[in-house]
Amino acid sequence: MPYLFTSESVSEGHPDKVADQISDALIDNFLAFDPNSKVACETLVTTGQVVLAGEVKSKAYLDVQEIARGVIRKIGYTKSEYMFEAHSCGVLSAIHEQSADINQGVDRTKKEEQGAGDQGMMFGYATNETEDYMPLALDLAHKLLQELAVLRRENKQIKYLRPDAKSQVTLEYDDNNKPVRIDAIVVSTQHDDFDTEAKMQKKINDDIINILVPRIKSKYKKYAKLFNDKIKYHINPTGKFVIGGPHGDTGLTGRKIIVDTYGGKGAHGGGAFSGKDPSKVDRSAAYATRHIAKNLVAAGVCDEVLVQVSYAIGVAEPMGVYVNTYGTAKVELSDGEIAKIVSGIFDMRPYFIEQRLKLRNPIYSETAAYGHMGRKPEVVNKEFASPDGKVIKKKVELFTWEKLDYVPKVKKAFGIK
């Protein structure tokens, strides 16, 4: 029986994402100056105020206030009328040293025996629904807001946009679990004040449907037919959206974990990513299971798959690896047998995950908005400056867990030609 499925996304200017981006900028700076840093930092943003808190074990000394302001400036909160502005907001730091009790469970004499930074279960998911092996509803929701941010920065076709925004896409699936129709698109975007609310509503509605949506449609040749005049649009459905960002709502690190992952598809272990160094398996193992899932689907083992791994704090070997192919497996093996082969291909001990995916590099700022999964792997040059004038330049590889580098190994292990 056909069914509807919905996913949402939020922009880089959403208060929770502002917090995530600040936390991950701190991670990047700590790792740039001390790759062995252990960091768990949280950020709270509200009207005119940023609060930084958390635990750190590092040799690096940072100007955390300036790092936070730099993130806020880059997002676009640069005007006093936003009531949250990069130069004038207060920044309070309550960051302190990491608990020695936790650290003794992670550090080992032999690096390969490094224990997991916490207990818990992590999930990775992949589907051949889109080119980047992500669920289509979430992919569309992300791209709507990424393109809206491009339009905001271009400031040509649409000149009234402010940084805060949300999107939501509802798809209809057929009996074969294939998307056949876009049922509804929701976009709420912060904007400058207008003369009248009626004028504002019409202008924003027309611009989203006639300027933004065609840009998105052009990116989806496979699904272009899903874009038609029967889509139900809800554009700024509450009306006026001038007050937004951290002035409109308090933002906290780690409150958008479904936006960060698969939009409600698959499963989630509950642990957030941003603000955590890779010794925290909440982050590193979630990336590793995505890497596994994507390579399994790309290799032709199945059309869709969920991979779970679980850990005990301070223990290197995972408690177990679970695989669910949702009945889409193309090999004559049970999901349990597939999981056993997967365990032989991918070493899921924390140290080996860090090494395989190059996670002790400053690569996290880019993950903190528009999803950690389904992104394009690329090599970039970064520069970091410390308060004492030291400058570090690094060439780093982003989104390594999105690479299809294990497809040949997976095919060989499963006898796929």
Residues at the annotated binding site for K(+)? 42
- Please calculate the CA angle 140-18-157 and round it to the nearest 5 degrees: 55
Which parts are annotated binding residues for Mg(2+)?
16
Q: Are 346 and 406 in contact (CB under 8 A)?
A: yes
Please state the separation of Cα 314 from the chain's center in Å.
26
Q: In the 8-state DSSP scheme, what is residue 400?
A: G
Query: Token digits for 217?
Result: 């449609």
Closest Cα partner for 84 from 3, 34, 15? Answer: 15
Which parts are annotated binding residues for L-methionine?
55, 98, 249, 280
Residues facing 46 on adjacent strands:
49
Read out DSSP for 353-376?
A: HHHHHT-SSS--GGGSSS-SSSPP
Element (H, E) at 227: none
Rounded Cα–Cα distance for residues 9 and 144 (Å): 9
Which parts are annotated binding residues?
14, 16, 42, 55, 98, 164-166, 240-241, 249, 255-256, 272, 276, 280
The residues, ordered by sequence, that sit 6+ positions from 83 with a Cβ below 8 Å of its Cβ are 47, 48, 243, 245, 247
Which parts are annotated binding residues for ATP?
14, 164-166, 240-241, 249, 255-256, 272, 276
